[in-house]
Amino acid sequence: MRTKTALAGVVIASATIVSAASAGEVFNQGFETDTAGMSASGGSYGAWTRVASGTGGVTSASGGFHAIATQTTYGGYHFFDGGRSSWPGGYTASIDVYLDTGMAAGEGFDYSVASNNTSGTHLRDFIFHVAKDTSTGQLLVGGSNNTNFNPREDLDTLSNFHAVTASGWYTLEHVFRDAGDGTLAVDLNLRDALGTLLFTETRNDGTDVLNVNVGGNRYGWFTNIDVANGIHVDNVTLNIVPLPPAAWAGLGLLGTLAGVRAVRRR
């Protein structure tokens, strides 16, 4: 039985209140100047170390810098621009990760983007699993709602998984949306460096009702990084699709803003 553990005891700063109509890209960390917005190192959680392009033989996904994510007990986490307790109208979170097919057998990592409930606390994780499968020798990607904080060696037994055949930069993309019946659906999309969709896993629980028990974004978190020397990451983003003005008026809540960018969808 696989279990999940939410980050506990973490204080989230209040988000700046601005017009919902102007929502778009609210968080973008490309590590060009710093690691602002990513969690501080220390304790049980890992570090985000900013490095120059070419470090370890890896050219940055964009610009001249990226970061290496490592873990102590767990990997590093971040809260984008802050957590949200109200459904903002749909949102997309993404992170670029360098996937190395030369990873040692049994190595891997999990990366989750979680949803808050309407009380502003943890509701559910939506997790990418990446592991170099020992039995097949393939670098596999899958998705679920749970982690056991170790690389998954059973991804090849799932009905839905993807085998990565070439080393390079890939995007782990979480699309949080209305399933069409007022419940939360999350598409876990794997894209290559050109944006081509390679894999998608859609998670939907009929008890997750928008603005009844489903709020907005919580953390992005590498729940484990069992990869020697860590993993290379770049371009951590959060894009929000604003609710119509009438819907925001009904909620009595405004959204947050930091720049404008179109949301990529399947």
C-alpha to C-alpha distance for 167 and 36, rounded to whole angstroms:
28
C-alpha to C-alpha distance for 232 and 150, rounded to whole angstroms:
19
Mean pLDDT of the chain: 86
CATH assignment at residue 236:
2.60.120
H-only helix segments in the chain: 245-251
Any domain includes 220: yes
Q: With contact defined as beta carbons under 8 Å apart, do 162 and 141 qualify?
A: yes
C-alpha to C-alpha distance for 206 and 249, rounded to whole angstroms:
26
C-alpha to C-alpha distance for 192 and 104, rounded to whole angstroms:
22
- Total tally of structural domains belonging to the chain: 1
Distances (CA, A) of 94 to 29, 175, 189, 233, 265: 11, 9, 9, 11, 12
Mean pLDDT per 10-residue section of the chain, whose length is 266 residues: 42 33 82 92 84 98 98 93 95 98 98 98 98 97 96 96 98 98 98 98 98 96 96 98 56 36 30
C-alpha to C-alpha distance for 263 and 189, rounded to whole angstroms:
13
CA 152 vs. chain centroid, Å, equals 18
Q: What is the pLDDT of residues 65-106, one digit of tens each?
A: 999 999 999 999 999 999 999 999 999 999 999 999 999 999
Name the token pair of 214: 């489903």
Which domain, by its residues, includes 216?
20-251
C-alpha to C-alpha distance for 256 and 16, rounded to whole angstroms:
6
Any domain includes 114: yes
Any domain includes 31: yes
CA 108 vs. chain centroid, Å, equals 16
Any domain includes 41: yes
Tell me the Cα Rg of the chain: 18
The pLDDT value given to residue 44: 87
Q: What is the pLDDT of residues 222-247, one digit of tens each?
A: 999 999 999 999 999 999 987 555 54
Any domain includes 8: no
**Predicted TM-score (pTM) of this structure:** 0.85
Any domain includes 145: yes
Amino acid at 205: D
